[in-house]
Amino acid sequence: MHILVTGGTGFIGSHTVVELINAGHQVTIIDNLINSKRSVIDQIALILDCATPEFHQVDVCDEGRLEKVVAGAGFEAVIHFAGLKAVGESVQRPLDYWQANVGGSTTLFQVLARHDVKTIVYSSSATVYGEPDRVPIREDMPVKQASNPYGATKQVVEQILMDLHTAHQGLNIAVLRYFNPVGAHESGLIGEDPSGVPNNLMPIIAQAAIGKLPEVNVLGSDYPTPDGTGVRDYIHVVDLALGHVAALDRLTSAPGKHVWNLGTGKGTSVLEMIAAFAKVADVHVPYRVTQRREGDVAALWADPSKAEKDLGWKAERSLEQMCADTWRWQQTAMSLTS
């Protein structure tokens, strides 16, 4: 298939592009490069020993430029990653998040509709569940009021897609609610490379381990969890990427609308993750306990059994491999910038 990947130079997008091309698909990438680098395209080509994927520096909010990319391209599907993604930042900059995540999505969907692109895989998030009544979280559990603007934008875009499916029965939609992506490609050539200070735990740990950051701020130690720190379901980004390929395949054999959790089904606390990373990398990871971050919940982890049943997909990579691949990527990234 010829697939448009929005946000395809980002962390999850770039790894998904690798796995899509591995699976024999043709890929065109668009990205505004606000939180990623164009050099990722070259790294993807190195990993695959192939020509660089087609790339356009386009913001999904820019309808005119988006139209030029989509018109006449013959896209058979789109995987939509593009958007802003930091919980804490969304609390401070809600308008930016509504504009990028909801405004950009509606613009994209309008352009796709004009050019008869009927298969959409959407990058959603476990944040749509809000503060769950219990864990693990299943897809049939209620979507509650989000605890932060980021989660609220994901809820709204999900609803837009459901409304579109009702209005246009020919649409095929997969909503993928994933938990906490970490790790990097085993080659060390691509990984999570945020601009400025990272917002997510794993790159913060890696940068503290290598001395780029002074320490890890553990955001709260008074949650109702075994060690008081937040518990999340960390999934290796390559497993997550393979979940997107599986969802795309499933839409060809089972058209319609689907929602799947992508996670491991296991929860790991912040302190457990710091300890695991320190052990795998054989380094000291300094940390300091601080106040809770507004918008965070205590514990989230998935029941991924529906994805395993429907897609034949299961997260295979261990916590140790997530840490090892992140450390390899961090060392590579530091050597390239030094």
- The whole-number pLDDT of residue 336 equals 62
Q: Where are the alpha helices (DSSP H) in the chain?
A: 11-22, 39-48, 63-70, 87-92, 94-97, 104-114, 149-167, 201-210, 237-253, 270-281, 305-311, 319-337
Express each pLDDT in 245-258 by its tens digit.
999 999 999 999 99
- Tell me the residue length of the chain: 338
Residue 332 lies in a domain: no
Helix (H, G, I), strand (E, B) or coil at 139: coil
Average of per-residue pLDDT across 209-217: 95
Residue 73 lies in a domain: yes
Select the more confidently predicted residue: 195 or 328: 328
Residue 169 lies in a domain: yes
Q: Is the pLDDT of residue 338 over 60?
A: no
Number of domains in the chain: 1
Q: Is the pLDDT of residue 243 over 60?
A: yes
Nearest-angstrom CA–CA distance, 125 and 242: 16
Out of 150, 223, 234, 287, pick the active-site residue. Answer: 150
> Residue 141 sits in a domain of what CATH number?
3.40.50.720
Task: Sheet with 231-232: list strands edge to edge.
Answer: 268-269, 231-232, 299-300
Determine the residue type at 177.
R
Nearest-angstrom CA–CA distance, 27 and 48: 13
Neighbouring-strand partners of residue 259: 175
Residue 59 lies in a domain: yes
Give the global pTM.
Answer: 0.96
DSSP 30-82: EE--SSS-THHHHHHHHHHTSPPPEEEE--TT-HHHHHHHHTTT---EEEE--
Give the confidence band of 295 by pLDDT, cuts at 50, 70, 90: confident
Q: Which domain holds residue 38?
A: 2-184+235-263+304-311
Express each pLDDT in 153-185 by its tens digit.
999 999 999 999 999 989 999 999 999 999 999
150 in active site: yes
Q: Is the pLDDT of residue 75 over 90?
A: yes
Nearest-angstrom CA–CA distance, 286 and 213: 9
Residue 80 lies in a domain: yes
Express each pLDDT in 89-133 by its tens digit.
899 999 999 999 999 999 999 999 999 999 999 999 998 998 888
Give the confidence band of 284 by pLDDT, cuts at 50, 70, 90: very high
